[in-house]
Amino acid sequence: MNVGFIGLGLMGRPMALHLARAGHALHLWARRQASFEPFADVDATLHASPAEVAKQADIVFTMVADAPDVEQICFGPGGLAEGARAGLIVADMSTIAPAAARDIGARLAQRGIGFLDAPVSGGEKGAIEATLTIMVGGNDEPFARIRPLFEVMGKSVTHIGASGAGQVAKACNQILTGVTVAAVAEALNFARKSGVDAAKVREALLGGSAYSRILEFHGSRMLAGNFAPGFKAWMHQKDLRIVMEEAHRLGLALPNSAATAQLLNAMVGSGMGEEDSVAVYKLLERLSG
């Protein structure tokens, strides 16, 4: 299959490489020439614009930072809509607001282009190991066509519902992961400030009802001071901004999400935006003296 991929960053690069290694011909576009270097040894063609990608591809995946980037790729000068052939499907795997996904999908539909919102969870590690969790919104027919490609990139693929539903699921994921990361950081910092071995506290908690994958994997990173980005704090900040904007629109109280969003704001504001979001532990250490 001819597959387009736009957004070759920490996540998109390994995702696209999995598709190439599964035997699909890649059609790529990126703003930076360096993004193409990992694709020198696979069946990949570099194009001058998203429109040129759309002329060659049956399906185009996008994996970019936020809704304005997706809109520019789809509708800007030289965008996908300019070059799209009949039957093209665009699957956006970025994390954007549900309302933005629904709007982009409706505008593409007016041009005869199918659309799925398919955000992912699993971070850079999941992208490299092809173990991502993929949450999909959109119609049944395009989902059925693309599902085998999703399964190349992830271990869990769930069709949540209509357009925008994938982004709602991702927002729920970011609530749970963000709040839990903050809670684990608070607990380990509390242990440390109490003069107790935080590593042994973590070991004990892993054996009881407080167990979580975040305590197991990210708790270890916190104690080791390993804040190299798998998921950058500024990205988690953006995702929680989406959550809080949706909560405001819906009239929902999300007090734990709001507190976590403020911690992420503080991380970015204090120069920690490029570190992993688990560096909230370091922020709490600073606040605790």
Identify whether the C-beta of residue 62 lies closer than 8 Å to the C-beta of residue 37.
Answer: no
CA angle 11, 16, 18 (to 5 degrees): 105
Identify the helix (H) or strand (E) that includes residue 5.
Answer: strand 2-6
Structure tokens at 250: 């819906």
Write the single-letter amino acid at 237. Answer: Q
Distance in Å from the first CA to the final CA of the chain: 56
Q: Quick check: is 170 catalytic?
A: yes
Q: What are the distances in angstroms from CA 123 to CA 194, 222, 248?
A: 32, 16, 27
Identify the helix (H) or strand (E) that includes residue 26.
Answer: strand 25-29
Structure tokens at 160: 């949540």
R_g (Cα) of the chain, nearest Å: 20
Which residue in 170, 232, 238, 282 is the catalytic one? 170
Identify whether the C-beta of residue 212 lies closer than 8 Å to the C-beta of residue 187.
Answer: no
Residues tagged active-site? 170
